[in-house]
Chain A
Amino acid sequence: MSIFTPTNQIRLTNVAVVRMKKGGKRFEIACYKNKVVSWRSGAEKDLDEVLQTHSVFVNVSKGQAAKKDDLTGAFGTDDLTEICKQILANGELQVSDKERRTQLETSFRDIATIVAEKCVNPETKRPYTVNLIERAMKDIHYSIKANKSTKQQALEVIRQLKETMEIQRAHMRLRLMLPAKDAKRLKEKLKPLLQIVESEDFDEDLEMVVLVDPGCYREIDELIRCETKGRGSLEVLSLKDVEEGEEKL
Chain B
Amino acid sequence: MGLTILEKIKVLQKNPANIRNLCILAHVDHGEQEYLLNLIDSPGHVDFSSEVSTAVRLCDGAIVIVDAVEGVCPQTQAVLRQAWLENIRPVLVINKIDRLILELKLTSQEAYSHLQKILGQVNAVTGSLFTSKVLEERAEKDSEEPEREASGYGEEVVYDWSAGLEEVDDSNLYFSPDQGNVVFASAIDGWGFSIQQFAEIYSQRMGIRPWVLLKTLWGDFYLNAKAKKIIKGAQAKGKKPLFVQLVLDNIWSLYDAVVTKRDKEKVDKVVTSLGVKIMARDTRHSDPKVLLSAICSQWLPVPQAVLSMVCEKLPSPLEMSAERVEKLLSVGARRFNSLPQQTQELKQVFLQCSSEDNAPVIVFVSKMFVVDSKALPHKRQRPLTHEEIAQRREVARQRHAERMASALAVKEQSAEEEEERETFVAFARVFSGVVRPGQRVFVLGPKYDPALGLNTLPEGCSAQSDSLPDTPHMSRSTLGGLYLLMGRELEELEEVPAGNVLGIGGLEDFVLKSATLSSSPACPPFTPLNFEATPIVRVAIEPKHPSEMPKLVRGMRLLNQADPCAEVLIQETGEHVLVTAGEVHLQRCLDDLRQRFAKIEISASKPIIPFRETVVRPPKVDMVNEDLGKQHKVAIIHQVKEDSSLGRSSDTLHVDSVGLVTLTTPNRLATVSIRAIPLPQEVMSLLESSAELIRTLEQVNMSLREGRALEVNPRTLEDIAALKDRLETLLQGHRWRNAVERIWAFGPRRYGPNILLNGVESYQRPSVWQCLNHSADKPHTTLRDLDNSIVSGFQLATLAGPMCEEPLMGVCFSLERWDVQTSASAPHQDSVEEEEDAVSQDAPGDIEAQGENAAVGQAKWRIEADCYGPVSGQLIAATKEACRHAFQAQPQRLMAAMYTCEIMATAEVLGRVYGVLGKREGRVVHEEMKEGTDMFTIKAILPVAESFGFTDEIRKRTSGLASPQLIFSHWEVISSDPYWVPTTEEEYLHFGEKADSANQALKYMNAVRRRKGLYVEEKTVEHAEKQRTLGKNK
Contacts and interface: CB of A to CB of B under 8 A. Distances in A.
Interface in B1008-1025: 1010-1021, 1023-1025
Interface stretch (B240-248, B385-393, B857-865): B857-865
Contacts of B1020: 34-35, 37-38, 98-99, 102
A176 B850 CA distance: 20
A75 interface: no
B1030 interface: yes
Contact of B855 (A49, A121, A226): A226
B919 interface: no
B570 A33 contact: no
B1025 A32 contact: yes
B1017 to A, nearest CB: 5
Contacts of A218: 836, 839-840, 846-847, 850
A132 B839 contact: no
Nearest to A15: B1029
Interface stretch (B131-139, B478-486, B633-641, B733-741): B633-641
Contacts of B641: 42, 45
Given A46-B638, A166-B547, A222-B862, A41 B846 contact: no
A189 B318 CA distance: 75
A129 B573 contact: yes
A58 interface: no
A123 B408 contact: yes
Contacts of B574: 116, 120-121, 126-129
A123 B557 CA distance: 15
A246 interface: yes
A10 interface: no
Interface residues of B, number: 77
Nearest to A125: B405
Interface string A206-227: 0000000011011101100110
B569 A248 contact: yes
Contacts of B861: 222, 225-226, 229-230
A86 interface: no
A14 B1027 contact: yes
B546 A135 contact: yes
Interface in B219-269: none
Contacts of B545: 135, 139
B868 to A, nearest CB: 11
Interface string A96-139: 00110010001111111100101011011011111111011001
A123 B411 contact: yes
A107 B1014 CA distance: 8
Contacts of B842: 118, 214
B53 to A, nearest CB: 20
Interface stretch (A21-29, A60-68, A232-240): A232-240
Contact of B639 (A45, A120, A230): A45
B640 A45 contact: yes
B1029 A14 contact: yes
B916 interface: no
B572 A50 contact: no
B846 A214 contact: yes
A121 B549 CA distance: 9
B632 interface: no
Nearest to A233: B832
Contacts, number: 203
A244 interface: yes
B850 A131 contact: no
Contacts of A185: none
B39 interface: no
Interface string B629-651: 00000000011110110000000
Given A13-B1029, A126-B570, A165-B549, A131 B831 contact: no
A34 B1013 contact: no
A15 to B, nearest CB: 9
Interface in B826-874: 826, 828-829, 831-832, 835-836, 838-840, 842-847, 849-850, 853-855, 857-858, 861-862, 865
A165 B1015 contact: no
A225 B1014 CA distance: 38
Contact of B570 (A43, A47, A124, A165): A124
Contacts of B556: 249
Contacts of A112: 1013
B888 to A, nearest CB: 15
A164 B547 contact: yes
Contacts of B840: 218
Given A121-B574, A246-B572, A217 B542 contact: no
A201 interface: no
Q: How large is the interface on A (under 10, 10 to 19, 20 to 34, 35 or more residues)?
A: 35 or more
Contact of B608 (A107, A129, A221): A129
A201 to B, nearest CB: 12
A109 B608 CA distance: 15
A141 interface: no
Contacts of B408: 123
Contacts of B1021: 32-35, 38, 98
Contacts of B1018: 43
A191 interface: no
B832 A124 contact: no
B1012 A109 contact: yes
Contact of A139 (B542, B546, B846, B865): B546
B560 interface: yes
Nearest to B847: A218
B522 interface: no
A112 B590 CA distance: 26
Contacts of A222: 850, 853-855, 858, 861-862, 865
Contacts of B853: 219, 222
B1000 interface: no
A152 B835 CA distance: 20
A215 B846 contact: yes
B332 interface: no
A155 B843 contact: yes
B849 A215 contact: yes
Nearest to A108: B1013
Contacts of B275: none
Given A127-B573, A248-B569, A166 B1031 contact: no
Contact of A129 (B540, B638, B1025): B540
Given A215-B849, A217-B839, A43 B1019 contact: yes
Interface in B536-585: 540, 542-547, 549-550, 553, 556-557, 560, 567-575
Interface string B356-384: 00000000000000000000000000000
Contact of A244 (B572, B608, B838, B1013): B572
Nearest to B557: A249
A44 B828 CA distance: 51
Interface in B516-546: 540, 542-546
B1030 A113 contact: no
A187 interface: no
Contacts of A248: 567-569
A199 to B, nearest CB: 12
A6 to B, nearest CB: 12
A149 to B, nearest CB: 8
In the A-B complex, list the 9 residue pairs whose CB atoms are closest, starting with the nearest.
Answer: A109-B1013, A32-B1024, A236-B835, A110-B1013, A127-B574, A226-B858, A14-B1029, A215-B846, A45-B638
13 contacts: A35-B1024, A98-B1021, A127-B573, A128-B546, A128-B549, A135-B545, A151-B844, A152-B845, A164-B546, A225-B858, A233-B828, A234-B832, A236-B835
Interface of A: 11, 13-14, 32-35, 37-38, 41-47, 49-50, 98-99, 102, 106-113, 116, 118, 120-121, 123-124, 126-133, 135-136, 139, 149, 151-152, 155-156, 164-166, 172, 214-215, 217-219, 221-222, 225-226, 229-230, 233-236, 239, 243-249
Given A221-B832, A235-B831, 15 more contacts: A41-B1015, A98-B1021, A120-B574, A121-B549, A126-B572, A127-B574, A130-B1012, A130-B1013, A151-B844, A218-B850, A222-B861, A234-B832, A235-B832, A247-B570, A248-B567
